[in-house]
Structure 1
């Protein structure tokens, strides 16, 4: 009888040793939970019993059914120490419990658990470099989210991972402090406090072993830079492991592109100062010898004529070897094959290195792969825009051979609509096939119009009240509709316009414009007169190519002129007197040509936009005249940080047909004067061009540049008249990455231009010029434009010969200019 307890203790000790660590306290605290059964063959083995029932104690939030789902023991099972270990491990594995105990009451198995608390609230504070939504998404993936079960090990893992992420961004002083606050009902509040600190700055970069090239030339293309005066903008002095890895690859490419085939990076060292604020980078390298190209051949299945493919190879014998030229040649061949359906074509440049002669023979092996058919073109993210509006812009069609050029062109056309902030495209292979793909366009829609009922303000129009419905994508149909009623300091207007850009399936557009307006030019910074006009127009557009189109317009308008003889400049009064009328009727026609290759309608960074058009009143109109306009704008992407925009605008107008002359009676101080002949010639004054202001030459008051004339009442203020010839231009440097949003841009500009009475009066010395900075923002309430300019070529006041009388006060300056309100 004394040996039996020893066997039981031995079995218990072995079971305890074989189970995981959490089982030890559970079994150790059970005082002989499983008593011996019978000793006959039909009874349970010693140290086991048959489970008649199972009871779960300690549950608060988790249901007993959930525990039974994971518990590998059921009624009627024989329970022993091995199964006890399995049961405890299974329950711990769920992650729901901090502690698990197994006990026995008779033949009832008692499972006592201590639940892990639930996360009531999760708060992040102090994080700026990494957005909270990104962090919360990552925390949720590892189980740290509100409503989930709290796991201390997961919290420790998060702390370590966050520290690693900040270290990769160069912030080595970061402090991650998690706080756990216990609440009632077995809940906790988690707070993760981040003290990011300042990023360590790269104080010095040293290359060891570069004898052929200067260090400054090698480092010119690196993202990692030593601390400099532009680092506040570029942030290129902040160390990160990823940036350094990319820069070392650029170092390797620098030498391979210059023929150093045996180049190698022998060592890299990153040292940090004791205060963790300064970084010192060192790279040891071996340059080797320079190699030339001995021969170039194209092999494999070229699909296209071999001679045509060989012309795409820009690497030639006797050239210095360049890996970049090899890549360009390979990309040109794969692009050509991609345009005829071979989406997965590859070109493998196989080098044959002769180290004795320092030459490399190149074999461009072409592997076309299967010819690929596009099964479906899919659009994702277009919640407002109709599917047919997008499909009519497609140049890659379903069921057609894959063409990379057509896919890229389709993307450009979608971006040109102006409906989308972002357009991304990807080709997804169709599962189960090797010759079909789906082309997926991922779209992010933006405001293509708005309903405005409210206020706007500009320095020219002052306070503006308006009600406007403007929609460039009306009800997702792609049609443009605008209805507007507006009242401002200088005008009252009512407009309606409608354009169907696809009046025909070939892309012929048709539109209508109707408007009525009262405009007081004296408040428009121009001469003292006002007009009341009504306009009706029909506009037709015909596409010629992917980028070119012609437009035509036919319209009728009526324009009534109101003047005050003593306050209106004499040239305007004389013109009206010569015609003997104040109301002008016109049949108007316009024809124009335009080209648009911009890569984006809202925020372009590359491409050209230009338009030339001539507008004329038809014979039989009150006044017969014509106007020629030319606008040009080109965006030059200089780098990821800089985009240069060059633009110019030219305008010229004149009358055609016979001049109109009349004899006008004049009254003098002593009685009637002899009649005077007055002639109406040239472009009518109410069609003159104007310059100056936020939309032309910034820094000068709107519409004030060019010819001026005092009124009959005299005075030192000469009123702007505008002119028949206009020339303006601008150089503007945009900083796309300075603001972290595509809806806003900051730029530095140089504007120049002026207006002249006629082309014959053009004098380059009379051009005005200014420089400054500007910000444009497509806000939810409408576009906002703010600029601050320094006019450096301007005309100051003029005085009489004795210097006592001011004859003219000179150019009107307005350094700070802005507009707010309106629609996109």
Structure 2
């Protein structure tokens, strides 16, 4: 055994001997020539530049040492020998092989493209020099990434195989394992609030509950870090300015399947507002600023409230042209847990818009976007007009994404450019619809529509549908900017042939042909008032067994009608998201009046309203409500609404789960034939939907899943004498309900939609449908 003192002596003697040996060769010599043997991949020019030796120059052992280090540092070589032969310094090198093949197997959670980009940054790609020391780093990094995703049982194995011509094949085998579940979340140090209240808004949740659409109990480092910020916001929003996160620990079970999260905090005490003041430069009156400050002495401090106030003040200043105003709050803690708040305002100069640029609209013309802009070039830039411009472009429905940014003009302090970047989504479609009925089989439809015809923003559509009973043909064209002021003009031609002998509506043939024209006037950014006229001819031909109701109407008013209708409509729409809306509302009221100029006199009033509410910030969980009501009546010489103008209920547009047009009042027959649905002059229908993200789907902008509850029916206030099955007026007990699941996918051609629904309260005589498939239509 060598004592420590003796070991130090031996080391000193060894170093002295080594230095003496080296000094023998340390005198300078002249290089007659330099040669490098073994180069294959590195060019000779680069190799000579690396070692720095030149013919005729002097060298010693330190120069050789530096040259060898420089060559090794390139990473190209696994071995280097240096020797001298006839005044020629020879470097004999052994190059490392290059990477000939690189394969990755077993990865699902992390895409191959992402992995390859990461490996490339580490120098691991085909054609690069193989460096064994990097493999261990890559293996550890991959392991770390999977750990952060909660895959503690993940394994990464890297195999290296030699190939001909000094190459190697690298195979990265990944076993991703299973995601560890969060068994328990424990918060230590909380006194004012219990753990349940603190964690109710966490993205992470303890396992043990059944929710097939949630991955909240799956551990993720990023998710836990986000929850810690949620916890911090919880306390700051309730005045706990001294809140501190002491530590957080994550423990993993021995089988690497269970995770225990422990968070240690120090709450402190809530602070109360003592005084609120303004400072800085105020370019607008103080009253305009103070109207946004709703804090008073004695209120509990809230960071969220402070943030909202700063945003409101910034918006106010932005509406006055101070687009780059800077608003900060300066809190000053006082004794007894009180705080003074000072809002410091730095307005900066007024800003004007130099230019508005559009990009991403490969199909849509610039003028279609520009005419939606309420913010103009050369005008004072205002926050409200910029945001309203963005929303107006979103309302067009042509784009899946709209991004609007302001950029300062170089060399100026008072000018900006507005860059509008859009991502177009299909605005045209070849539409088809396939409906399945348990009693009638398949219903087919076809249509071609373009909501952005030739990139002009105009709509052109041709639709036809065919069932065993009906053929419909419609051609329409609408120009939303017939004038520069936003007055719209639309035309429509329609033709309908119906044979109702074998359906649940009636036994008659109906032919309709007509045309309409309409003009729309903008009332506000979201509201429009439309006026129009429709001219149509209707012919009815009774079948072999008509009902008493249809026979009575034809006996009274004849079987052919030339009508002139006046139309008026009011709409208020702020729907965002195109085919699959994600936010906003829409309301529409229509009134159609068949004027006395024609053969019939009747009127129909319709109301439709719907809204979308985001339940989460990511706009993936939505609540949707939709309601529809209609009322029709005769007037003058017509004592009732014509039976062929009746409303109908049942099917995908009213109450799913019931056969189309099968609900409502029944007709009557003198010979005792089974009754059919004849519709009614009163319609009530509504839908409530919970929209949720579908598991394992990345692009939620093209796929939507929802659970729906439908309710509705049609009623009448005119029953023919002798019809004992008909009841006049609205009977709430006759409202039908259905519950179901809807799945919609926006394909490159058209929307594809499935409905699986169950009638909740069918009654005798109702026809139900369980499955409905559609291509080209969404509900």
TM-score (norm 2): 0.88
Distance of 2:633 and 2:650 partners within structure 1: 22
Do the aligned residues in 2 keep the contact of 1:450 with 1:823 (CA within 8 Å)?
no
Cα contact 1:586–1:621 (8 A) shared by 2? yes
Distance 1:758 1:785 in 2: 36
Higher mean C-alpha displacement, 697-706 vs 290-299: 290-299
1:543 & 1:11 partners in 2: Cα distance? Answer: 97
> 1:153-232 residue pairs with structure 2 within 5 A?
153-230=133-210, 232=212
Name 2:214's counterpart in structure 1: 234
The answer to whether the 8 Å contact 2:68/2:80 transfers is yes
| Structure 2 match to 1:702 | 660
430 and 82 in structure 1: CA distance in 2 versus 1, 3 angstrom threshold: farther
In structure 2, the partner of 1:59 is 40
Q: Give the deviation of 1:137 after TM superposition.
A: 2.9
> Which of the residues 500, 510, 518 maps onto 1:539?
518
Partners of 1:688 and 1:400 in 2: CA distance: 53
Find the partner of 2:492 among 475, 496, 513: 513
What corresponds to 1:573 in structure 2? 551
Q: Does 1:639 align with 2:616?
A: yes
Q: Does 1:381 align with 2:336?
A: no
Deviation readout 1:339-361 (Å, 9 max, x if unpaired): 33333322222222222x33212
Q: CA deviation at 1:485?
A: 5.2
- Structure 1 window deviating more from structure 2 (88-97 vs 519-528): it is 88-97
Equivalent residue, structure 2, for 1:289: 269
In 2: Cα distance, 1:105 partner to 1:394 partner: 81
Tell whether 2:764 aligns with 1:764.
no
Find out whether 1:682 has 2:682 as its counterpart: no
- Contact map agreement 2:31 2:55 (CA 8 A) in 1: no
Q: CA deviation at 1:223?
A: 1.9
Contact 2:375/2:389 (CA < 8 Å) preserved in 1?
yes
Secondary structure in 2 matching 1:221: coil
Partner residue in 2 for 1:360: 339
Q: Give yes or no for contact 1:171–1:199 (8 Å, CA) kept in 2.
A: yes
Tell which deviates more after alignment, 391-400 or 321-330: 391-400
1:123 equivalent to 2:103? Answer yes
The 3 A distance-change label for structure 1 pair 709 and 485 is: closer
Q: Kindly provide the CA deviation profile for residues 54-105 of structure 1, in whole angstroms up to 9, marking residues without a partner as x.
A: 6664425x65566567675566666665555555555555555555556666
Deviation at 1:627, TM superposition (A): 1.0
Could you list the per-position Cα deviations for residues 228-265 of structure 1 after superposition, in whole angstroms to 9, with x for gaps in the alignment? 42554332222233332332233233223223333333
Q: State the partner residue of 1:744.
A: 703
Residue 4 (structure 2) pairs with residue 47 (structure 1): no
Secondary structure in structure 1 of the residue aligned to 2:454: helix
CA distance in 2, matches of 1:397, 1:101: 73
Partner of 2:7 in structure 1? none
Matches within 5 A, 1:137-536: 137-230=117-210, 232-355=212-335, 357-451=336-430, 456-459=433-436, 463=442, 468-484=447-463, 487-522=466-501, 525-536=504-515
The CA deviation at 1:214 is: 2.0
What secondary structure is seen at the aligned counterpart in 2 of 1:388?
helix
Match of 1:551 in 2: 530
Residues 435 and 444, structure 2, Cα contact 8 Å, conserved in 1: no
State whether residues 609 and 626 of structure 2, in contact with CA within 8 Å, keep that contact through their aligned partners in structure 1: yes
C-alpha distance in structure 2 between counterparts of 1:14 and 1:475, whole Å = 85
Contact persistence 1:470–1:823 (CA under 8 A):
no
Aligned to 2:13: none
Per-residue CA deviations over 1:755-779 (Å, capped at 9, x if unaligned) read: 0123861111211112222222222
1: CA distance, partners of 2:306 / 2:605: 49
Q: 1:614 aligns with which of 591, 601, 623?
A: 591
Equivalent position SS for 1:159: helix
Q: CA–CA distance in 1 between the matches of 2:412 and 2:51? A: 45
Provide the aligned C-alpha RMSD in A: 3.2
Could you say what secondary structure the match of 1:254 adopts?
helix
CA contact (8 A) 1:59 1:113 kept: no
Give me the whole-angstrom Cα distance separating, in 1, the residues matched to 2:510 and 2:21.
106
**Other-structure match for 1:677:** none
What's the secondary structure of 1:315's corresponding residue? Answer: coil
Residue 200 of structure 2 aligns to a residue whose secondary structure is: helix
- Three-state SS of the structure 2 residue aligned to 1:646 is strand
Q: For residues 590-629 of structure 1, what are the structure 2 equivalents within 5 Å? A: 590-629=567-606
Shift of the 370–571 alpha-carbon distance from structure 1 to 2, 3 Å rule, reads same
Provide the rounded CA distance (Å) in 1 between the counterparts of 2:296 and 2:714.
54
Please say if residues 593 and 611 of structure 1, whose CA atoms lie closer than 8 Å, have aligned partners that are also in contact: yes
Q: Separation in 1 of the partners of 2:514 and 2:101? A: 63
SS at match of 2:29: coil
Does 2:732 match 1:754? Answer: no
SS at match of 1:777: strand
Change (3 A) 1:11 1:467: farther
Give the TM-score of the pair, scaled to structure 1. 0.83
> Do the aligned residues in 1 keep the contact of 2:430 with 2:750 (CA within 8 Å)?
no
State the number of aligned residues. 749
Q: CA deviation at 1:130?
A: 2.0
Matched, 1:818 2:773: yes
Aligned equivalents of 1:296, 1:206: Cα separation in 2: 38
SS at match of 2:123: coil
> Could you tell me how far 1:561 is from its partner in structure 2?
2.2
Q: How far apart are the structure 2 equivalents of 1:190 and 1:74?
A: 39
Q: In the superposition, relative to structure 1, how do residues 290 and 115 fare at CA in structure 2: closer, same or farther (>3 Å)?
A: same
SS in 2 for 1:577: helix
For structure 1, which segment, 133-142 or 629-638, has the greater mean C-alpha deviation from structure 2 after superposition?
133-142
What is the alpha-carbon distance in structure 2 between the residues aligned to residue 543 and residue 66 of structure 1? 72
1:389 is paired with a residue whose SS is: helix
| 1:498–1:121 distance in 2 versus 1, CA, 3 Å | farther
Report if the CA contact (8 A) 1:72-1:90 is conserved.
no
Counterpart of 2:4 in structure 1 is none
Q: Secondary structure at the match of 1:401?
A: coil
**1:664 corresponds to:** none
Please give the per-residue CA displacement for 1:467-513, whole angstroms capped at 9, x wherever unaligned: 64322122322222223455444443443222222222222222222
Q: Deviations over 1:617-648 (max 9, x none)?
A: 23322222221110000112223453111111
Distance 1:703 1:117, change over 3 A: farther
Is the alpha carbon distance of 1:188 and 1:543 closer, same or farther for their aligned partners in structure 2, counting shifts above 3 Å? farther
Residues 663-812 of structure 1: pairs in structure 2 closer than 5 A = 681-715=639-673, 717-736=674-693, 738=695, 739-740=697-698, 741-758=700-717, 761-795=729-763, 797=764, 810-812=765-767
- Change beyond 3 A, Cα 1:502–1:650: same
| 1:449/1:321 CA distance change after superposition, 3 Å | same
Report the Cα offset of residue 108 of structure 1: 6.5
Contact 1:730 1:752 in 2 (8 A): yes
Question: Which residue does 2:11 correspond to in 1?
Answer: none
Shift of 1:614: 0.7
- Residues 570-607 of structure 1 show CA distances to partners (whole Å, capped at 9, x for unaligned) of 211221122233x3222233110001112322222322
Cα deviations by residue, 1:766-795 (Å, 9 ceiling, x for unpaired)? 111122222222223422222222322332
Question: Which SS does the other structure have where 2:482 is aligned?
Answer: coil
CA deviations over 1:191-237 (Å, ceiling 9, x no partner): 32221112222211222232222221122222222224255433222
Q: CA shift at 1:691, angstroms?
A: 0.8
Deviation at 1:555, TM superposition (A): 2.7
- Summarize the Cα distance change of 1:629–1:73 in structure 2 as closer, same or farther, 3 Å threshold: farther
Cα distance in 2 between the residues matched to 1:733 and 1:465 = 29
